[in-house]
Structure 1
Amino acid sequence: MLDWSQILEPNTHPLEILVRGSSMYLGLFVLLRVILKRESGTTGVTDLLVVVLIADAAQNGMAGQYQSISDGLLLVAVIIGWSFLLNWVAVHWRWAERLVRPRPLPLVRDGVLLRRNMRHELITEAELRAQLREQGIAHLEDVHEVRMEADGQFSVIPCEQAKDQHRPRNPRSKQRV
């Protein structure tokens, strides 16, 4: 016979779950934000954390390692809560946005490698050139700018595209209809 009280009633103090979940989320967030920025690919660091931690928390709740479903659900709620809170804070305060979502880092400007920035993110010239080839660019001289975005992806602005953006507009094209 199933012991419903053992399955549904929490047996870990909710404050302990809150402290453990918060510590793991924030600790992993800092590590991923500082160390593995470009490894996260197209998934943002907070998204990656939520998926990994929820999978683990839900697995523990389902497999019985918490002894109760409510312990697992509380931990999942803590993880989602931190993700929501960090994103909310980043939207409402500019200083927090810089902490949660790093600014794009220039790696090439007007065909010149910015080696200091490349060293900061542990990007080799070979890796950068491979990214340029994937964008169909064979020579650095053809690049106006390359930036590593907050999600770790590289955005490339070719010289001809930059010229189009800075071209003076025809005042006649602004006529009202």
Structure 2
Amino acid sequence: MDKIIALNWQEMLVPTQSLLEIFVRGTITYWLIYLILRLFRRGTGQLGISDLLLITMISDAAQNSMAGEYNSIPEGAVLILTLVLWDYVIDYVGYKKMFFGGLARPDPILLIRNGRLLRANMEKQLIDEDELMGLLREKEVDDYRKVKTCYLESTGNISVILKKDS
């Protein structure tokens, strides 16, 4: 019964590691994961099961490199705040177009021009015709030949401009 209601205030509130070390570990790990995901992944607007699996596996694999062994609430809070801080900084820098704005917000990729699929661009983004057609149907476009331009935006969404009827 004592284990159910007992609290170890020392372990819960007193850090066992340097909070600065946790901040530095979190910073390095965040930037490493960010750069890997930015360079090798740009989804098409929605998280699929493989994306969720990848994120879960990365978070599990990165846990020890970020935090080592810690038990206290302040240590966990510093790590979480570090990750949130860097996420905000990247969004802010991308918004202000400072430093590496192109990395934070890459240029849109043209996928369709004047009713023609740009297969080289689609291949670079690992988007096949079936996936693109599904994305177009979500925009209520049933035939890519009706499309003047279609871009894969930096957010992973597509934007579509239809040809004007003559």
Tell me the CA shift for residue 91 of structure 1: 2.5
What TM-score, normalized by structure 2, do the two folds share? 0.75
1:122 aligns with 2:126: yes
Cα RMSD (Å): 2.8
The whole-number CA distance in structure 1 between the counterparts of 2:32 and 2:158 is 26
Worse overlay, 143-152 or 127-136: 127-136
Match of 1:86 among 77, 82, 90: 90
Question: 1:28 corresponds to which residue?
Answer: 33
Tell me the CA shift for residue 138 of structure 1: 2.6
Higher helix share: 1
Tell me the CA shift for residue 118 of structure 1: 0.7
1:70 aligns with 2:74: yes
Q: Deviations over 1:96-128 (max 9, x none)?
A: 221101121110011111112111101112211
Tell me the CA shift for residue 4 of structure 1: 1.4
Instruction: Among all aligned residue pairs of Structure 1 and Structure 2, give the percentage whose two residues are the same amino acid.
Output: 32
What TM-score, normalized by structure 1, do the two folds share? 0.71
The whole-number CA distance in structure 1 between the counterparts of 2:38 and 2:14 is 36
Higher Cα Rg, which structure: 1
Structure 1's unaligned 5+ residue stretches are 43-48, 164-177
Residue pairs, 1:125-164, within 5 angstroms = 125-160=129-164
Structure 2's unaligned 5+ residue stretches are 1-5, 48-54
The whole-number CA distance in structure 2 between the counterparts of 1:69 and 1:36 is 33
Tell me the CA shift for residue 79 of structure 1: 0.9
- Conserved? CA contact 2:93–2:99, under 8 Å: no
Aligned length: 146
1:17 aligns with 2:22: yes
Worse overlay, 125-134 or 148-157: 125-134
Residue pairs, 1:34-45, within 5 angstroms = 34-38=39-43, 41=46
Match of 1:4 among 5, 9, 13: 9
- Conserved? CA contact 2:94–2:100, under 8 Å: yes
